[in-house]
């Protein structure tokens, strides 16, 4: 699904990622953890195509193609989805309009016909129920006046409808209370499948109580300093990030 | 990579689809303006004597006036002697009696614009008056309207056939002394639409006028007069396009609306005059005076405008709320791109008791364009319990454009309530990236965000035109992101 090889990324003159190597196979969930400033968000941004970063070395291959060469909308249409840490508001544009426009642009790219209005409504309503959202959200402007939890649930709703192959979740747990976290996690869990992979970028371990990762990677100073199974997250929670940082310094 | 600020500024390859020229034999006056030209104009139109006198009076007044300089627009002084004041497709003595007699080239031109004049092909329920340069070439559904008692015809025809109505109402809302361009228009106007809705009649269909400038070096001076008698109801729409030319062309129109007791007039404009090229060369100067008089009690006038064209727009559709309990509304979307300049807004003059007005203005500026909202809310001593609500929002696309707001509020009646809200926002890179990350191209994203911004105005437009307006916005923004 995704191979990251010796990826170096900088912002201006400042090197942020200094040689990331990561391989993600279909169906796998990888958690990327790390202290503030370790480069976690940069990694999710560079995968999804946000501007303002310079790749100074290495490669990212997605389904056999050079991901870094694609425009962000092409990545989206090819199945890369970023669940934003801070979802933006778009006044006057209803949620359902955005969803339909997005779904149709993806379908068109994949050689499918545009979705029929009735079928679309049925699809959307099913997903809304799944995420325990109020149908009224569909007709409100995108994220406008939404609470933090509602915005994150809205991201998962988009994910559920667009059915991406690679989901990148950027600090999805930030700003969520425990109930919202549960609902969001259940939504994500329901989307797990053998051909869909997840990259979960998170600062805290608590999200991983609800979404169990196959692998945990610890990012520090722009490099993956430790990788392991789900248990690594618990160990981190107990010992703190200084543990891996010291560990790395000692090595 | 997503569109950076720099790329957003990499404006603009505008695709103006209405920019074609129709090759025709025309009767065109040589450039220049003096009393002899006005005599000739009045004669060619076969006008009654009072009209000639009216024109000459206006012309003499115009000569004493100066071009206004207070608007936030920049242009070289116009040489009024270099403009031709009349251009019309050549035709037989009496003009075409039916569509069969109209030059097929003209029919073809309108068809290309999406306005087939053949009644069978027209959108059901919309009657069209087609004004080509200085003359009306066709008016559809006249028969059906006549059955309802509605008069819908070229104003040049109304001058001959309904002189009493013209004498009573022409210049009664916008006098020839009103302003520089209104005076010029009164002197040299050539055609436009005339509408009279009799007492208690609800006009059975939407009325519309499609203005087309075709000839080079001519000005278009259109004059529209709509009278809604007691208890009547009418919805009217105008559309405008012109060929792409490197020279600027002048369009100086006057529109007068009169609403009597309990009458309702809804006036919608989709203005898409040629805006000039991406370097600001050419385009129409759109200097227009539009005003409604809500003369009777409980009357209502609603202006809705979508302004995407013209090199310069100078236009303030206004309402004089004379009748008690009368209502004025102004909904506006003004989009400027490249080097376009717009100084537009409204005036709401409250005279009667319990009068109310609403102003919703959405200005969008892209490229190096300057977009100004200028509005006046004036409450006279007599206007007890007058109310006004104004909302004025500006959206910037890129960082080389400007948005300006000049609200004027004059209140002489202490019981009045006047509210003004204004916002300025920018399409952020985060919004663009978000939409792109969901699969939309940067251009579709900008178009969607702008349409969202304009929603409150679009919902005031008649259905078919709302769709057209949305498409037009998308087109006008083409190339506004890298």
Per-residue pLDDT of B18-33, as tens digits, reads 777 777 777 788 888 9
* Total number of domains constituting chain A: 1
Based on the number of CB atoms within 10 Å of its own CB, is B322 exposed (0-12), middle (13-18) or buried (19 or more)? Answer: buried
Query: Does the CB of A97 have a partner CB in chain B at under 8 Å?
Result: yes
- 3-class DSSP state for residue B407? strand
pLDDT for residue B122? 52
Mean pLDDT calculated for residue range B464-473: 70
Q: Is the pLDDT of residue B112 over 80?
A: no
Cα separation, A177 vs B289, in Å, equals 57
Instruction: Give the closest of B2, B442, B448 to A93, CB-based.
Output: B448
Helix, strand, coil abundance in chain B, percent, nearest 5: 25, 35, 40
- Inter-chain residue contact B448 with A90, CB threshold 8 Å: yes
Q: Is the pLDDT of residue A64 over 80?
A: yes
Q: Is the pLDDT of residue B312 over 50?
A: yes
- The CA distance from B396 to the nearest CA of chain A, in Å, is 14
H or E element: which one contains A233? helix A231-239
Nearest to residue A156, comparing CAs of A125, A185, A176?
A185
Average pLDDT value over all residues in chain B: 84
B131 pLDDT band, cuts 50/70/90, is confident
Q: Whole-model pTM?
A: 0.82
Q: Is the pLDDT of residue B134 over 70?
A: no
Given a contact cutoff of 8 angstroms between Cβ atoms, the answer to whether B276 and B250 are in contact is: no
Q: Is the pLDDT of residue B4 over 50?
A: no
Mean pLDDT calculated for residue range B173-194: 93
Mean pLDDT calculated for residue range B385-414: 92
pLDDT for residue B98? 59
Give tens-digit pLDDT for A186-197: 889 999 999 999
Cα separation, B250 vs B312, in Å, equals 10
Chain B residues in contact with A77 by the CB 8 A cut-off are: 439
Distance from the Cα of residue B124 to its chain's centroid: 23
Lookup: tokens for B459? 């919902």
B417 pLDDT band, cuts 50/70/90, is very high
Chain A residues in contact with B434 by the CB 8 A cut-off are: 84, 87-88, 90
- Per the DSSP assignment, residues forming a β-bridge with A2 are A24, A62
pLDDT for residue B12? 34
Q: Is the pLDDT of residue A167 over 70?
A: yes
A149 pLDDT band, cuts 50/70/90, is confident
pLDDT for residue B351? 97
Lookup: tokens for A102? 């997005």
Mean pLDDT calculated for residue range B430-449: 91
pLDDT for residue B265? 97
Q: What is the ipTM of this complex?
A: 0.94
Cα separation, B441 vs B462, in Å, equals 29
Cα separation, A220 vs A226, in Å, equals 9
- Inter-chain residue contact B440 with A102, CB threshold 8 Å: yes
Q: Largest Cα–Cα distance in chain B?
A: 68
Please work out, in degrees rounded to the nearest 5, the angle formed at the alpha carbon of residue B280 by the alpha carbons of B279 and B282. Answer: 120
B482 pLDDT band, cuts 50/70/90, is very low
Which has the higher per-residue pLDDT, A47 or B482?
A47
B413 pLDDT band, cuts 50/70/90, is very high
Interface test with chain B among A90, A106, A161, by most B beta carbons within 10 Å: A90
- Inter-chain residue contact B439 with A109, CB threshold 8 Å: yes
pLDDT for residue B416? 95
Interface test with chain B among A72, A107, A142, A154, by most B beta carbons within 10 Å: A72
- Per the DSSP assignment, residues forming a β-bridge with A159 are none
- 3-class DSSP state for residue A240? coil
Chain B residues in contact with A60 by the CB 8 A cut-off are: none
- Inter-chain residue contact A93 with B451, CB threshold 8 Å: yes
B77 pLDDT band, cuts 50/70/90, is confident
User: What letter does residue B266 receive in the DSSP assignment?
Assistant: E
Domain interval for residue A94? 2-250
B7 pLDDT band, cuts 50/70/90, is very low
Nearest to residue B313, comparing CAs of B361, B345, B354, B281?
B345
pLDDT for residue A118? 87
pLDDT for residue B14? 46
Given a contact cutoff of 8 angstroms between Cβ atoms, the answer to whether A245 and A226 are in contact is: no
Q: Is the pLDDT of residue B137 over 50?
A: yes
CATH of the domain at A49: 3.40.50.300
Chain A residues in contact with B394 by the CB 8 A cut-off are: none
Give tens-digit pLDDT for B218-249: 788 989 999 999 999 999 988 866 667 677 78
Q: Which residues contact B386 (CB under 8 A, 6 or more apart)?
A: B321, B350, B353, B354, B355, B356, B379, B413, B415, B416, B417
Q: Is the pLDDT of residue B212 over 60?
A: yes
């Amino acid at each position: 699904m995704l191979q990251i090889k010796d990826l170096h990324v900088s912002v201006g003159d400042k090197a942020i990622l200094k040689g990331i190597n990561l391989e993600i196979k279909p169906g796998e969930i990888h958690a990327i953890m790390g202290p503030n400033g370790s480069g976690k968000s940069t990694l999710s941004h560079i995968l999804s195509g946000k501007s303002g970063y310079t790749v100074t070395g290495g490669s990212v291959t997605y389904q056999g193609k050079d991901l870094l060469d694609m425009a962000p909308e092409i990545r989206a249409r090819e199945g890369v989805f970023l669940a934003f840490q801070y979802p933006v508001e778009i006044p006057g544009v209803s949620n359902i309009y955005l969803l339909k426009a997005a779904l149709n642009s993806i379908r068109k790219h994949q050689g499918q016909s545009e979705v029929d209005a009735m079928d679309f409504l049925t699809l959307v309503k099913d997903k809304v129920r799944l995420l325990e959202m109020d149908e009224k959200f569909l007709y409100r402007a995108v994220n406008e006046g939404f609470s933090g939890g509602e915005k994150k649930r809205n991201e998962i709703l988009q994910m559920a409808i667009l059915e991406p192959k690679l989901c990148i979740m950027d600090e999805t747990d930030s700003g969520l209370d425990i109930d919202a976290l549960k609902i969001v996690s259940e939504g994500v869990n329901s989307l797990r499948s053998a051909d869909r992979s997840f990259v979960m970028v998170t600062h805290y371990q608590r999200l991983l109580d609800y979404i169990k990762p196959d692998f945990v990677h610890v990012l520090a100073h722009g490099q993956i300093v430790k990788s392991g199974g789900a248990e690594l997250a618990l160990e981190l929670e107990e010992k703190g990030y200084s543990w891996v940082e010291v560990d790395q310094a000692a090595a | 990579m997503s569109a950076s600020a720099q790329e957003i500024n990499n404006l603009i390859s505008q695709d103006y689809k209405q920019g074609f020229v129709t090759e025709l034999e025309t009767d065109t006056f040589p450039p220049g303006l003096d009393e002899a030209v006005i005599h000739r104009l009045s004669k060619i139109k076969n006008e009654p004597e009072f009209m000639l006198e009216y024109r000459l009076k206006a012309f003499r007044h115009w000569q004493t006036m100066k071009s206004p300089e207070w608007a936030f627009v920049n242009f070289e002084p116009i040489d009024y002697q270099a403009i031709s004041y009349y251009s019309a497709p050549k035709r037989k003595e009496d003009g075409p009696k039916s569509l069969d007699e109209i030059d097929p080239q003209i029919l073809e031109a309108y068809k290309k614009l999406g306005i087939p004049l053949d009644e069978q092909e027209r959108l059901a329920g919309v009657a069209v008056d087609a004004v080509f340069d200085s003359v009306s070439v066709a008016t559809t559904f006249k028969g059906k309207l006549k059955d309802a008692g509605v008069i819908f015809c070229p104003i040049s025809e109304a001058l001959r056939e309904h002189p009493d109505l013209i004498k009573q109402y022409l210049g009664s809302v916008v006098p020839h002394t009103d302003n520089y361009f209104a005076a010029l228009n009164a002197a040299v106007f050539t055609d436009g639409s005339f509408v009279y809705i009799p007492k208690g009649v609800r006009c059975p269909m939407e009325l519309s006028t499609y203005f087309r400038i075709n000839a080079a070096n001519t000005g278009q001076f259109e004059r529209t007069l709509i009278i809604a008698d007691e208890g009547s109801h009418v919805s009217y729409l105008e559309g405008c396009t012109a060929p792409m030319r490197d020279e600027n062309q002048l369009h100086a129109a006057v529109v007068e609306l009169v609403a009597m007791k309990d009458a309702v007039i809804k006036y919608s404009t989709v203005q898409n005059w040629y805006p000039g090229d991406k370097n600001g060369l050419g385009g129409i100067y759109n200097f227009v005076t539009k005003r409604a008089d809500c003369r009777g009690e409980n009357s209502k006038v609603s202006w809705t405008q979508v302004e995407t064209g013209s090199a310069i727009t100078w236009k303030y559709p206004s309402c004089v709320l004379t009748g008690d309990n009368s209502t004025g509304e102004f909904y506006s979307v003004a989009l400027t791109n490249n080097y376009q300049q717009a100084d537009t807004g409204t005036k709401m003059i409250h005279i009667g008791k319990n009068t109310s007005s609403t102003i919703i203005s959405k200005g969008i500026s892209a490229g190096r364009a300057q977009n100004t909202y200028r509005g006046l809310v004036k409450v006279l001593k007599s206007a007890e319990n007058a109310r006004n609500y104004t909302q004025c929002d500006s959206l910037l696309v890129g960082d080389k454009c400007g948005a300006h707001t000049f609200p004027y509020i004059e209140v002489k009646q202490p019981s009045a309530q006047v509210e003004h809200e204004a916002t300025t926002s920018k399409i952020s890179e985060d919004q663009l990236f978000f939409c792109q990350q969901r699969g939309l191209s940067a251009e579709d994203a900008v178009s969607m965000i702008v349409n969202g911004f304009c929603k409150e105005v679009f919902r005031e437009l008649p259905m078919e035109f709302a769709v057209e307006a949305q498409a037009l916005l998308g087109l006008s923004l083409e190339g506004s992101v890298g």
